[in-house]
Structure 1
Amino acid sequence: MKRALFATALSLWASVGLTAPETQDSQTLTMEQARVLARQALYAGRFDLARDVAAVLVRADPEDAYAYGVLAAAHSRLNDPKEARSAARLSYKHSETSAQKFGAARTAASIAFQQERPTASQIWLRLAATHAETPRQDEVLSRDYSRVRGANPLRFNINLSVAPSNNVNGGTDNVLEVNNGIPTGSGIQAGSRALDGTVGTLDVQLRYRLAQSQKSRTTASGRLYVRRVKLSAESERELQEDAASRRDTPLTNSNFDETYADVGLEHTFALGAPGNSVSVGATLGAKWANDTRIYDSTKLTVSRGLKLSEATHLRLHSGFERRFGVISDARDANILSIGGTISHNLRGGDKLSVGLRAQEQSSDFVNGNSTTASLRANYVFGKQLGPVQISTGLTLGYTDYDEFFVSNGLIPGRQDESLYGDVSFFFADYDFAGFAPNLRIRTGRKASNVNRFETDETTITLGIQSKF
């Protein structure tokens, strides 16, 4: 084996115009010298020679991670994608240190990208992230991932969270019903009162770029949102006792489950000054509650992006949604919305954004007619505080119903006022494969002249968020 390695390496070294190194034995060549030859052949563009030298190294040592890496690069440049992928996997498999595995995974990602397989490239970069040990490696991965993601027509975003909450159903703390300050004499059922428990959500969003030019882009999208509730033992007992008093079937976890899905199409094009754009979109959706489809919907949207300065951007948006009730015409509704968000990048990397939204909903069902306005302010701190990146938010809301039907009949109207604050802590330094934990605390209160809709809520959400 040594003679074969030496003879092959010697001839290949001469073929790339290099002088063979002196050795103690004219019939031997060290493995390290052969690796140098393979690397130089690769740099010289002699990919066939690099492949052959690496093949000899692999025959000498079937677990030579470096040789497999050279093979992967050489096969890729020689348009042999199957062999390139196989060699890349073996290079990663036989790497022993974190630094070696980091490099092998990046090489595999680069090969996948060159072969126009950006999704596979992103997966390899995620795998490389599990072996990153320095801030510099994190920066390199972030840059690589951004480049690959920009080239990938498929973009996916998966959010998974678990949230203990003192109000999983948006219920009230009140027990007796009071409308406009007047008691009705009726009690509020347990299912409408605040229930303790845990909320789990899965939100999967996919976008696929169908076409793109310098001034326009067309994308298809899909979304699946799943919300599941696990009531506390105390809340389950309250529901059972309430149902028993009314000789009814008690509510269970599934009664508070929600599922929403949609598919859409969006076209964005440049209009006006550089940085300004217009987007138009259409969406078909459906919502389920307790495994029962509640409504189908169609939605049209138009938005306008304006670059006011290098640091300030404004986005205006409007939409019209038509809902079609499946089990009841009471779910039929027309929803018109308008709004805008202005964001400004501050010195030091902080970012402030303020958004205003108004919505008008009309329906044949009296309780389905409402006007809503909300104001949302966000502040993101650019500098990390220790291991944590912090962002905060404040939301003000107001909803008005001209008339509202309650247990004792029709009342002149219902008005809700709400105030919610939230703070998020993103632990970017504690990541795995580029994903790090995110802790969000949200608390607030909604006041109403119909006390059945007065709520107090505090929710602590633990989720996973991508660093890239």
Structure 2
Amino acid sequence: MMRGARRPQSLRRVALALLAALALAGPVAADPAALNPDQMRVAAGRAAAAGQPLAAKAMAEALLARDRDDVQALLALSRAERDLGDYDAARDAGMRAWSLGRRDEDRYAAALAVAQAQASKGARTRSQFWLRRAVEVAPDDRAEARAIRDYRYVRARNPWATQLSFTLAPSSNVNGGTSNETADLYLSGTPIGDLYLPDAQLSPTARALSGVELALGVSASRRLHETATEKTTLDMGLLQRSYILSDEAKRMAPTASGSDFAYSAATLGLTHKRKIDDGRGDLRFGLATQRTWYGGDTLAQSVRASAAVGYALTPKTKGQLSLSADRENGLNGRADVTGWRLGAGVGRVTDSGLQLSAAISHSDRDSASGALDFRETEITLGAALPEPVMGAQVSFSLSAADRHHDSIPFALNGRDDTRLAARATMAFPALDYMGFVPDVTIEALKNSSTVDLYDRREFGVSLGVRSRF
């Protein structure tokens, strides 16, 4: 009763202000004093869309004086305030419309309004968050496509790029232990001379322990320089892997804890990218430093330089070459390591949309510690199916590696390993939330070594999240 009684009085009270605003902005529809609330909402929206923010703001405020929870008025006010340069007011009006909106159409419009206000203010990362919200509540495919297009536009102009990653991965071997209960061991330099121990019983923590890996990562890059063909970024990253041992692992190794195998890394670096041959190819140069921790203790401090070139051999085939070199200073008694890696790969998309890839790499590590001194060659083949399988986007990879150690603890004649791995990843776009989709990766690995201690098998299933745009 009271709200209905206030309605004519509220509208009349702002009529003169509306007339003055409309006189300055130009005609929109009709005399505002003659408009009912529904007509005024339409007129306010049209005024905002027509670039008449003073008129739109006046009508929106008149409607809000009548009903402070008028969603359409808040949307018109947000657009008007943004056009008038008051980005905080535009954001606040849009956020209130979001909180009050009940229809997807209203919440979509509100999310876009907040995103536009944030982008206009220069808060592009927050704008991207609201555009993801718009994607989530988009009323139809066309609206979703617009929000994704706007997201990519803002992202391209945002000097900051941030990625979060989370993985939950049950595994049969969280500590990288051997699958054998016993091993033939050779011990040199003992007080009683060199010893050979056939079928020696291994300690519980040397054997494979099952459990769950929890990994959380964040990476951010700040664009320092960009032209049409070049870009330089400052890159930062943090990674934390922690483990929860299974009941079986706790029975096998009662003194062990998941934190004994926790791994952390902090990275800081520079990356420079350059397009070549009219965009047909690209060059990438990087320099990074990293500090790592294992079991809560500092492990190593390293520096790495890298270079890579990619080139479109045909419209559907791209090749890549990469080279890197690094120096790792061991901490807490760990030996130093220097090394390099050379890699080459090719990827092709077939006429049916099947994505195929093949890569080969060779690594050489030099260290006073035999366990860290080795040469390794690895071949990887991959495929991504063009069509979903039971609603899942599926990709596969197979890899084989050969590693040689000249000398190794517990062995007389060095060590040779052959490692085979298979991986299948399934992403589920139907479970999309704000543009993020869950994926499941199943991985199996077998390492066969000439030293029994290093035989191992692993099987794991990891759950992760990826962005689809």
Say whether the fold is shared (TM-score over 0.5). Answer: yes
Contact 1:447/1:454 (<8 A) preserved:
yes
**Partner in structure 2 of residue 42 of structure 1:** 48
Matched, 1:421 2:422: yes
**Partner in structure 2 of residue 245 of structure 1:** none
Cα deviations across residues 147-191 of structure 1 (Å, max 9, x unaligned)? 2222111111111011111111122221111379x9724122111
SS at 2:272's partner residue?
strand
Contact 1:162/1:198 (<8 A) preserved:
yes
Cα deviations across residues 6-50 of structure 1 (Å, max 9, x unaligned)? 5555665666235527xxxx9652112112221222233221111
Amino acid paired to 1:384: P
> In the TM superposition, what is the alpha-carbon distance from 1:441 to its structure 2 partner?
0.6
Matched, 1:237 2:251: yes
SS at 1:429's partner residue?
helix
Alpha-carbon spacing, 1:453–1:136, altered in 2? closer, same or farther (3 Å): farther
Cα deviations across residues 281-311 of structure 1 (Å, max 9, x unaligned)? 1111011011100110011111112121221
> In the TM superposition, what is the alpha-carbon distance from 1:402 to its structure 2 partner?
1.5
From 128, 141, 153, the equivalent of 2:159 is 153
Cα deviations across residues 56-103 of structure 1 (Å, max 9, x unaligned)? 111111011111111111111111112111111122122121221012
**Partner in structure 1 of residue 202 of structure 2:** 188
Which is further off, 160-169 or 347-356? 347-356
**Partner in structure 1 of residue 450 of structure 2:** 449
Amino acid paired to 1:331: A
Large movers: runs of 4+ above 6 Å? none
Matches within 5 A, 1:28-177: 28-177=34-183
Instruction: List runs of 5+ in structure 2 lacking aligned partners.
Output: 1-9, 187-195
Cα deviations across residues 86-140 of structure 1 (Å, max 9, x unaligned)? 1111221221212210121022212322333211111101222332354444333
**Partner in structure 2 of residue 383 of structure 1:** 387
Q: C-alpha distance in 1, partners of 2:29/2:99?
A: 33
**Partner in structure 1 of residue 288 of structure 2:** 283
Q: C-alpha distance in 2, partners of 1:462/1:41?
A: 49
Contact 2:29/2:43 (<8 A) preserved:
no
* TM-score, normalised via structure 1 length: 0.91
Amino acid paired to 2:27: G
**Partner in structure 2 of residue 4 of structure 1:** 13
Amino acid paired to 2:102: E
Q: C-alpha distance in 2, partners of 1:139/1:377?
A: 33
Alpha-carbon spacing, 1:398–1:298, altered in 2? closer, same or farther (3 Å): same
**Partner in structure 1 of residue 327 of structure 2:** 322
Q: C-alpha distance in 2, partners of 1:431/1:63?
A: 31
> In the TM superposition, what is the alpha-carbon distance from 1:275 to its structure 2 partner?
2.4
**Partner in structure 2 of residue 243 of structure 1:** none
Instruction: List runs of 5+ in structure 1 lacking aligned partners.
Output: 241-249
Contact 2:383/2:395 (<8 A) preserved:
yes
Alpha-carbon spacing, 1:27–1:219, altered in 2? closer, same or farther (3 Å): closer
Q: C-alpha distance in 1, partners of 2:21/2:218?
A: 52
Q: What is the percentage of aligned positions where both structures have the same residue?
A: 25
- The total of aligned residue pairs comes to 450
Contact 2:18/2:55 (<8 A) preserved:
no
Matched, 1:355 2:364: no
Alpha-carbon spacing, 1:19–1:456, altered in 2? closer, same or farther (3 Å): closer
Contact 2:408/2:414 (<8 A) preserved:
yes
Q: C-alpha distance in 1, partners of 2:139/2:30?
A: 37
Amino acid paired to 2:30: A
Amino acid paired to 2:406: D
> In the TM superposition, what is the alpha-carbon distance from 1:358 to its structure 2 partner?
0.8
